[in-house]
């Protein structure tokens, strides 16, 4: 259960060459949103759009495939996508909203849907939540430290950022620089330390790079809504899949990383409780499964 409840897990990627080129991993997020837009399953999607400042995203409502692709790729800093959902409905007039969410964002959205105290006419308009895996996130200044100071490259030259295989990767047009992840430790935001969710357990479909080879993604299909869209997209040939058993490194690595994240977070949660600091989750002694996302 460290990977949450799911109906199916597969290795997958978008079959669209342009999406493959622009996306972070298998282009699952962009590919599914473009498909859902084309098919009218969503009217638009909240994504982490580009701004004037390199690698500093801002949530935006994408209404076309071009806008979705403009926001493809991972930015390792805050994009408060949940903020934009209300605008998507009130200002853009969307009835069926798609949104990409890291686990903690999915929690804000799901809590709002179950308990919409002050939020009217939004809960039932979230038509598709695509979750992405997340180990931690960084303040923009941390990112600047990695790129400008540790790696010593100009922000404007950076084409892609990635985390994987124990390293933080910085790709420019002509070089590939890396920083060992142990050097990035201490720069992540503190709120991540109590986060129990690695694989976005509450999304309709969740996806990330870990578990599958470069250019592919690991995809969990979780809810009925997620299953409908994902199946249709695969049948339409927009997404191609492989069994997880046929790819390396496979689910084992994901299970290990999810377990590590939860175990570490549980320790911090217990420590905070012992100090009398607030924390919204239960302590390890208060629940049956100490690694459950509660």
Partner 1 sequence: MSILARIKSFFGMEAKPDKEASQEEVEKVAEEKAKPRIGYIHLSGCTGDGMSLTENYDILAPLLTDMIDIVYGQTLVDLWEMPEMDIALVEGSCCLQDEHSVHELMEVREKAGLVVAFGSCAATGCFTRYSRGGQQAQPNHESFVPIADLVKVDLAIPGCPPSPEIIAKTVVAAINGDMDYLQPMMDLAGYTEACGCDLQTKVVNQALCIGCGTCAMACQTRALSMTNGRPELNENRCIKCGICYTQCPRSWWPAERINQDLGL
Residues in contact with ligand FAD by CB under 6 A are 23-30, 47-48, 57, 71-76, 79, 81, 100, 102, 132-135, 137, 163, 207-210, 217
Distance of closest approach, residue 101 Cβ to ligand FAD, in angstroms: 7
Find the binder of ligand SF4 among 43, 58, 136, 204 (CB under 6 A). 136
- Check binding of 144 to partner 1 (CB under 8 A): no
Residue closer to partner 1 by CB (options 12, 97) is 97
- Check binding of 103 to ligand SF4 (CB under 6 A): yes
Contact 121, 154 (CB under 8 A): no
- Check binding of 155 to partner 1 (CB under 8 A): no
Residue closer to ligand SF4 by CB (options 123, 153) is 123
- Check binding of 100 to ligand SF4 (CB under 6 A): no
DSSP string, 39-68: TTS-SEEEEEE--SSTT--EEEEE-SHHHH
What pairs with residue 220 in β-bridges? Answer: 9, 206
What are the start-end ranges of the E strands in the chain? 8-14, 44-49, 58-62, 97-101, 126-132, 158-164, 167-172, 176-180, 205-208, 217-221, 239-243
Residue closer to ligand FAD by CB (options 54, 282) is 54
CA-closest candidate to residue 47, choices 107, 124, 114, 130: 130
How many angstroms separate the CA atoms of 156 and 264, rounded? 35
Find the binder of partner 1 among 15, 50, 63, 111 (CB under 8 A). 111
Q: For the chain, what percentages of helix, strand and coil (3-state, to nearest 5) are there? A: 40, 20, 40
Q: Which residues bind partner 1 (CB under 8 A)?
A: 4-5, 59, 77-78, 80-86, 104-105, 107-121, 123-124, 137, 139-140, 189-195, 201-202, 222-224, 277-281, 292-294
């Amino acid at each position: 259960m460290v990977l949450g409840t799911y109906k199916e897990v597969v290795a997958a990627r978008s079959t669209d060459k342009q999406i493959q080129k622009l996306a972070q991993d298998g282009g699952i997020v962009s590919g599914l949103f473009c498909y859902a837009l084309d098919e009218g399953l969503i009217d638009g999607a909240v994504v982490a759009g580009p701004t004037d400042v390199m690698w500093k995203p801002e949530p935006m409502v994408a209404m076309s495939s071009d806008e979705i692709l403009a926001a493809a790729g991972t930015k390792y800093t805050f994009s408060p996508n949940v903020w934009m959902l209300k605008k998507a409905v009130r200002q853009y007039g969307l009835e069926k909203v798609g949104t990409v969410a890291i686990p903690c964002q999915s929690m804000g959205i799901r809590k709002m849907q179950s308990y919409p105290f002050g939020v009217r006419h939004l809960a039932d308009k979230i038509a598709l939540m695509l979750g992405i895996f997340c180990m931690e996130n960084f303040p923009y200044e941390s990112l600047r430290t990695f790129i400008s100071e540790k790696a010593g490259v100009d922000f404007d030259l950076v084409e892609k950022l990635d985390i994987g295989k124990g390293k933080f990767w910085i790709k420019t047009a002509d070089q590939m620089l890396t920083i060992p992840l142990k050097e990035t430790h201490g720069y992540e935001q503190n709120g991540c330390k109590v986060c129990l969710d690695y694989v976005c357990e509450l999304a309709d479909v969740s996806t990330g790079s870990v578990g599958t080879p470069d250019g592919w993604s690991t995809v969990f299909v979780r809810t009925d809504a997620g299953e409908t869209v994902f199946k249709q997209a695969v049948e339409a040939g927009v997404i191609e899949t492989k069994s997880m058993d046929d790819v390396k490194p496979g689910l084992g690595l994901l299970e290990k990383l999810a377990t590590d994240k939860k175990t570490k977070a549980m320790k911090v949660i217990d420590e905070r409780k012992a100090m009398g600091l607030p924390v919204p989750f239960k302590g390890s002694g208060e629940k049956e499964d100490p690694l459950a996302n509660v």
